[in-house]
Amino acid sequence: MLRLCLVARSMMPKTASRSLSAAAQGVRVAHAKQALRDADAVCFDVDSTVITSEGIDDLAAYLGCGEKVAAVTKQAMQGSMPFHEALALRLDAMQPSRQQVQAMLQEHPLVLTPGMATLISTLQARKQHVYFVSGGFRNMIEPIAAQVNVAKEDIYANTLLFEDDGKFKGFLETEPTSRAGGKAKVVADLKAQHGYKTVIMVGDGATDMEARDIEGGADAFIGFGGIAVREKVKQGADWFVEDFNDVINTLK
């Protein structure tokens, strides 16, 4: 059984024909394809994987502080700042209220990556559990998850906290995804808790690939480059795809 695991650039995936016509890329393509077919659960990153953008960037742009947040992100990444401190700095720069988050989602709803809805429904029809495992915000991911019938309890992501009047309060620091290595921990914990024999991680970033590279972690990592190509992911993924139709076809 499988379950599926959202900042401001809106980039559409690369053309489907390119990945369909090119030879499969990856360090263990056959292994990844078989693991996918056998998987008990599939965990999806959200930003630039399930959706066509990065949720925190989308929110920052909506609030008119995209450049400021990008500067904070760059400063944090150049130093030795812990992940949770970098997250706190970016949120402090934005100070998003509950009302602003809701307004952004209504005016500029997040967009599913082409093929994602079909892939998820295909997995669900095969009785494979789908999880969303994201460094984005649960408050923004839940509407997307509802579109593809992924339950709230199957979302592992950060949580924005608000005062009673909706004013920004902070974020839930106990969420594993609020810290470095959090995605890998979530995948390993899911595998251990549910007794899954085979779990797949799908995502565009190095933090997604880490879920495969720890003891007890994902059994295969499918790197996705349909929105943004990360060279480290392209070179290290068991199977690297730019079109989710390639993955869907493997399940047929």
Catalytic residue annotation: 45, 47
Give buried/exposed letters for 142-180 (b at 16+ CB in 10 A, else e): bebbeebebeeebbbbbbbebeeeeebeebeeebbbbbe
- Give the single-character DSSP code of 154: G
**Helix crossing, 83-94 with 55-62: angle to 10°?**
30
Handedness of CA 69, 72, 78, 82 (dihedral sign): negative
Give 97's contacts (C-beta < 8 A, 6+ positions apart): 162, 166, 167, 168
What is the C-alpha separation between 202 and 233, in angstroms, rounded? 11
- 3-class secondary-structure state, position 236: helix
What is the C-alpha separation between 21 and 29, in angstroms, rounded? 16
Q: If we measure between CA atoms, which residue out of 120, 240, 102, 236 comes closest to residue 160?
A: 102
